[in-house]
Amino acid sequence: MTSTPTVARAIELLRQAKRVVALTGAGISTPSGIPDFRSPESGVWDDVDPMEVASIYAFRHNPALFFDWLRPLATTILTAQPNPAHLALASLEASGRLQAVITQNIDLLHTRAGSRTVYEVHGSLRQATCQGCHHEVDAPPLLEHYAHTGELPLCTCGHIIKPNVVLFGEMLPARVMRLAQAEAAMCDVMLVAGSSLEVAPAGDLPELAKRAGAQLIIVNLGPTHMDRQADLLFREDVAELLPQLAEPFRRRGIEELANQ
């Protein structure tokens, strides 16, 4: 475990900051049982070429292959529960210490944990859109139906319905990405949790924050290209460390409510 003075230093940075923003990646959801696509141990890409099943080109030409690949992963995501790392970030936001979460994840766990300001730069499994008439529907019931029946989700107009996740070859949602970049440029502390920072442009946000004068805290089991620029670097499990960072502010919030 990281020495107490280092954890204390991270807490002090959060305490002194006027605006804190978190950037999260797959590593924050692995404690919830959702595999990290890029880790050799996960096996997600072991037997398939991602460009053949998870690109927009593949979806348009063979949606059945995409949904067959997505089926077990979507089932895992829809049944996963927020872990202590998600809850810690929600607690930091509730205490007023954290202003926003920027996430590369599509699993909705930040929202389910209670975070209110969440920028999902790679989309999410919240909704899905008809590729013909562009009608939007809730994605979880659609995916649950497919998981049980194997029937491809079709709109009443007859076209396939695609979950609102960003596939290879697609642009990121422009408005969400602009807001995420603005948050990175405005914050004075960025907390990176569970991201390898390998995927641009989201992985470039810590560099944007540093250029704007922010201090950088990285919590990730593996290396990132920003490690040398980090003000504090933790090779820790996010589900163990983030609750330590949030605890002093959670206690303060309870005390303030009790005194009202």
Supply the CATH number for residue 57's domain: 3.30.1600.10
Report whether pLDDT(247) > 90.
yes
Q: Which CATH number belongs to the domain containing residue 215 in this structure?
A: 3.40.50.1220
Q: Using 50, 70 and 90 to split pLDDT, how confident is the model at 229?
A: very high
* 63 and 142 share one domain: yes
Do 181 and 209 belong to one domain?
A: yes
Same domain, 228 and 112: yes
Question: What is the DSSP secondary structure assignment for residue 30, as one 8-state letter?
Answer: G
Question: Rounded mean pLDDT of the chain?
Answer: 90
Whether residues 114 and 222 share a domain: the answer is: yes
The predicted model scores a pTM of 0.91
Question: Does the pLDDT value for residue 4 go beyond 60?
Answer: no
User: Do 128 and 117 belong together in one domain?
Assistant: no
Tell me the two tokens of residue 127. 């909704």
Question: Are 197 and 255 found together in one domain?
Answer: yes
- Asked if 128 and 98 sit in the same domain, the reply is no
Q: Decide if 7 contacts 15 (C-beta within 8 A).
A: no
Q: Residue 258 pLDDT more than 70?
A: no
My answer on whether 212 and 240 are in the same domain is yes
pLDDT at residue 71, rounded to an integer: 87
Q: Of the residues 132, 165, 198, which one is the last residue of a structural domain?
A: 165
Q: Per-residue pLDDT for 104 more than 80?
A: yes
Mean pLDDT calculated for residue range 236-247: 97
227 and 106 together in one domain: yes
Same domain? For 72 and 19 the reply is no
- Pick from 165, 192, 216: which residue ends a domain? 165
| All residues at 6 or more sequence positions from 249 whose CB lies less than 8 Å from its CB, including other chains | 14, 15, 91, 92, 95, 96, 97
- The residue from 141, 165, 189 where one domain ends is 165
Q: Which of 61, 86, 122, 145 is catalytic?
A: 122
Task: Say whether pLDDT at 37 is over 90.
Answer: no
Structure tokens at 92: 């930091």
Do residue 176 and residue 147 come from a single domain? no
- Residue 122 a catalytic site member: yes
Q: Is the peptide bond before 201 cis (omega within 30 degrees of 0)?
A: yes
d(CA 254, CA 250): 6
Residues 156 and 67 in one domain: yes
Number of compact structural domains in the chain: 2
pLDDT for residue 39 is more than 80? no
Residues of the domain holding 29:
1-34+82-122+172-260
